[in-house]
Amino acid sequence: MAPESGAGGGVPDSSAESWGVGGVVGDGRYRLTHRLGRGGMAEVFAAEDVRLGRTVAVKLLRADLAEDPVSKARFTREAQSVAGLNHHAIVAVYDSGEDLVAGRPVPYIVMELVEGRTIRDLLLSAEAPGPEQALIIVSGVLEALAYSHQHGIVHRDIKPANVIITHGGAVKVMDFGIARALHGAQSTMTQTGMVMGTPQYLSPEQA
């Protein structure tokens, strides 16, 4: 995902050299402290919100995808989808915007920083959840999905890597990057016949 961000004069211009740990995003408001993860579409950093004095997560679209209208629209849609959702089992979105990388605007999303492990990591470890914990996890995910559906948003990519268990045992659903609105303009963004999601976790009728 995105390279690094530095602040310069009036409008910060982020460069591949400065947009990373120690760099800043959002007119200097968010200072990146360390990388949390990197995916095919984006990078996620822990960051300090210098205005409010809190720790957040900043998700940055990869700079090479920023000029692709479809990638940019899907990334922006994640912020729009989750911004209207306020549920304890959904990772909250606080802010979004664009910063400059080599003169090109690259979008970012500022989210709740959740400390814990994904279900994927748990399944690959010696601490795989037992029946009781699995029931708690499934219940939490279903709560999040029921709430998002009630508010017109379908996640479309539920999988172990998109569910976090906090150190306190709470369940959090994240990554609404390919979410779809049930009604309105977003509901028509996906081309007819296009299958969205991770192949291994698609329902049988989609696979």
Question: Which residues carry out catalysis?
Answer: 157
Half-sphere exposure of 35 (CA within 13 A, CB side): 13
Phi and psi of 152, rounded to 5°? Answer: 80, 15
Whole-number Å distance between alpha carbons of 75 and 65:
10
Q: What is the largest CA-CA distance in the chain?
A: 56
Taking residue 160's Cβ as centre, other Cβ atoms within 10 Å add up to 16
Residue 125 per-residue DSSP state? S
Give CA–CA dist 95/83, Å, rounded.
8
Contact yes or no for 2/19 (Cβ under 8 A): yes
Neighbours of 125 (CB within 10 A): 9
A 10 A CB-CB count for 18 gives: 19
Whole-angstrom distance, CA of residue 5 vs CA of residue 26: 9
